[in-house]
């Protein structure tokens, strides 16, 4: 054997060995645990506006989903345990409407709070009967105010141990953003805002909110002029430093409430008919600057984008890695080739979590450094997940920088349709070290 041939064989062996080691390494970084079988005929278990499909308190992780019969199932485990304890509650939901999602939170006393099954319908809200328990109370009122026509319920944990609960009161086009606060010391809810974002009977606000480590509430939203998703436009912004009682612009100027279209700070101007999606995600960097992710079409195809604040100015980061186009025109829950994106930040790195038919509808994490803005994409599932949208354990990420993703393959027929498919496994995908997954970070 010649020296050149021997050198070539050794190089090939080392290359294959490196690939094998890298593959094993990624398998060790990404783990999956199964919870149970869930309804999959539409995306009600996997819409992004659940806010909290999965949450952790004192190393106990909770999840919730609808089973094939539409019954609400609660689950919990100790972190690190492969086995989940599940409990079929006495409550069900109208699972044929993908708006009727489940949102949950755990308060500082360990009580589970759950809201579910609402689309312009009366508030449905319960608590666990004991700390860390899965048995639920009878249905409860919160404040008794504006609880007749509720949509998009979401819970938020504050650093001061209080909870916030946001929802839309009223139908699309005439709905108000309501914000309630729960005090675990008194076990009582109060209403902080009865109409924070005011469409003036002409339009609706569709928002996303993030609680920063210092307790600041960062809120951003698009306006929608009609029932048609294509009428979404613009990205507006507000921030609160007192738990949602008062709000201001990024420059510190106080808002007169409620906030209207003409008064709102325009983070980015986006015209109608831009395939701009509503209800996405936002976060902040280590300096408290807001980062808002969404997608729209500013040219030939919709791209994931990030609107962010830097040195008092709003800027735009365009990912540019998508190749295909589509239209968002129409109403109801849409069947869309990409999911709405989630956003996470760690030091000088930003991550987007999404699903795209261009990548066979697998769950994908895209990462880029803030200085180079060169994107690397990593698929974290081997199979596609249908019409899934991202939900992750916010509390676990905030405390331990571990990424746990709620996962289920679901279908969605366009315009609020329902498919005929068998129940699909509800799973949690665990990425203990996201930096390691992107170990050659740019």
Please, what is the Cα angle at 274 between 272 and 275, to 5 degrees?
115
Query: How far is residue 286's CA from residue 409's CA, in Å, rounded to a whole number?
Result: 34
Q: Domain ranges in the chain?
A: 3-437
Peptide bond into 258 cis (omega under 30): yes
Q: What integer pLDDT is reported at residue 1 of this predicted model?
A: 54
Per-residue pLDDT band for 6 (boundaries 50, 70, 90) equals low
3-state helix, strand, coil in the chain (%, to 5): 10, 40, 50
Query: How far is residue 133's CA from residue 36's CA, in Å, rounded to a whole number?
Result: 18
Q: What integer pLDDT is reported at residue 192 of this predicted model?
A: 99
pLDDT digits (tens, 9 = 90+) for 368-393: 999 988 999 999 999 999 999 999 99
- Give yes or no for residue 97 having a pLDDT over 90: yes
Q: What integer pLDDT is reported at residue 331 of this predicted model?
A: 67
pLDDT digits (tens, 9 = 90+) for 7-47: 555 444 444 444 444 444 555 789 999 999 999 999 999 99
- State the chain's mean pLDDT as an integer: 92
Query: How far is residue 298's CA from residue 355's CA, in Å, rounded to a whole number?
Result: 20
Q: What integer pLDDT is reported at residue 20 of this predicted model?
A: 44
Q: What integer pLDDT is reported at residue 18 of this predicted model?
A: 43
Q: What integer pLDDT is reported at residue 21 of this predicted model?
A: 43
pLDDT digits (tens, 9 = 90+) for 297-345: 998 899 999 999 999 999 999 999 999 999 887 666 678 899 999 999 9
Taking the chain, what is the end-to-end CA distance rounded to the nearest angstrom? 41
- Give yes or no for residue 3 having a pLDDT over 60: no
Contacts of residues 391-394 at CB distance under 8 Å and 24 or more positions apart, as own/partner, are 391/46, 391/48, 391/50, 391/51, 391/52, 391/53, 391/54, 391/342, 392/54, 392/342, 392/344, 392/353, 393/54, 393/55, 393/56, 393/61, 394/52, 394/55, 394/157
- Give yes or no for residue 367 having a pLDDT over 70: yes
Its pTM stands at: 0.92
The DSSP symbol for 286 reads T
Alpha helix ranges (H) inside 134-182: none
Residues 269 and 304: beta-carbon distance below 8 Å = no
- Quick one: which of 143, 247, 264 has its CA closest to 200? 264
DSSP 305-349: EEEEEETTEEEEEE-----------SSSS---SBPPPEEEEETTE
Which are the contacts of 252, defined by CB distance < 8 A and separation ≥ 6?
Answer: none
C-alpha distances (whole Å) from 379 to each of 40, 296, 355, 366, 372 are 22, 22, 9, 9, 21
Question: How much is the average pLDDT of 239-264?
Answer: 98
Structure tokens at 374: 């060169």
| DSSP E strand stretches across 187-231 | 188-193, 204-211, 217-224
Query: How far is residue 330's CA from residue 227's CA, in Å, rounded to a whole number?
Result: 8
Task: Give the whole-number percent of the chain exceeding pLDDT 70.
Answer: 92
C-alpha distances (whole Å) from 287 to each of 41, 138, 212, 438 are 42, 43, 10, 23
Q: What integer pLDDT is reported at residue 22 of this predicted model?
A: 45
CATH (residue range 3-437): 2.120.10.10
Half-sphere exposure of 415 (CA within 13 A, CB side): 3
Residue positions counted in the chain: 442
Q: What integer pLDDT is reported at residue 262 of this predicted model?
A: 97
1 CB neighbour count, 10 Å cutoff: 6
């Amino acid at each position: 054997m010649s020296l050149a041939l021997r050198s070539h064989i050794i190089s090939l062996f080392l290359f294959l060995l490196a690939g094998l080691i890298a593959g094993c390494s990624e398998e060790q970084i990404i783990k999956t645990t199964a919870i149970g079988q869930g309804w999959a005929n539409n995306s009600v278990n996997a819409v992004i506006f659940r806010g909290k499909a999965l949450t952790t308190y004192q190393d106990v992780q909770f999840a919730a989903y609808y089973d094939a019969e539409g019954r609400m199932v609660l689950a919990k485990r100790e972190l690190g345990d492969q086995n989940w304890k599940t409990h079929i509650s006495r409550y069900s939901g109208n699972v044929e409407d993908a708006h009727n999602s489940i949102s949950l939170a755990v308060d500082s006393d360990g009580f589970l709070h759950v809201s579910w099954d609402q689309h312009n319908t009366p508030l449905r809200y319960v608590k666990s009967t004991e700390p860390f328990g899965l048995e639920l109370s009878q249905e409860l009122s919160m404040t008794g105010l504006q609880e007749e026509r509720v949509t998009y319920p979401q819970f938020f944990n504050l650093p001061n141990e209080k909870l916030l609960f946001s929802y839309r009161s009223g139908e699309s086009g005439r709905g108000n953003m309501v914000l309630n606060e729960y005090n675990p010391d008194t076990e009582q809810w109060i209403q902080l805002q009865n109409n924070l974002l005011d469409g003036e009977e002409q339009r609706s606000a569709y928002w996303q909110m993030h609680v920063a480590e210092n307790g600041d509430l960062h809120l951003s939203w698009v306006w929608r002029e009609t029932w048609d998703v294509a009428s979404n436009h613009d990205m507006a912004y507000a921030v609160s430093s007192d738990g949602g009682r008062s709000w201001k612009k990024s420059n510190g100027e106080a808002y007169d409430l409620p906030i209207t279209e003409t008064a709102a700070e325009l983070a980015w101007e986006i015209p109608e008919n831009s395939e701009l999606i509503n209800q996405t995600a936002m976060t902040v960097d280590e300096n408290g600057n807001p980062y808002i992710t969404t997608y729209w079409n500013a040219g030939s195809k919709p791209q994931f984008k990030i609107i962010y604040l830097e040195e008092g100015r709003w800027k735009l980061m365009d990912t540019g890695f998508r190749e295909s186009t589509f239209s968002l025109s129409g109403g109801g829950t849409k069947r869309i080739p990409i999911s709405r994106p989630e956003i996470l930040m760690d030091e000088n790195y930003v991550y987007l979590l999404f699903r795209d038919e261009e990548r066979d509808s697998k769950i994908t994490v895209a990462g880029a450094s803030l200085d180079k803005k060169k994107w690397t994409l990593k698929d974290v599932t081997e199979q596609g997940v249908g019409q899934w949208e991202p939900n992750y354990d916010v509390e676990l990420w905030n405390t331990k920088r571990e990424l746990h993703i709620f996962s289920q393959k679901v279908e969605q027929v366009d315009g609020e349709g329902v498919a005929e498919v068998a129940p699909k496994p509800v799973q949690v995908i665990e990425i203990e070290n996201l930096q390691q997954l992107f170990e050659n970070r740019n």
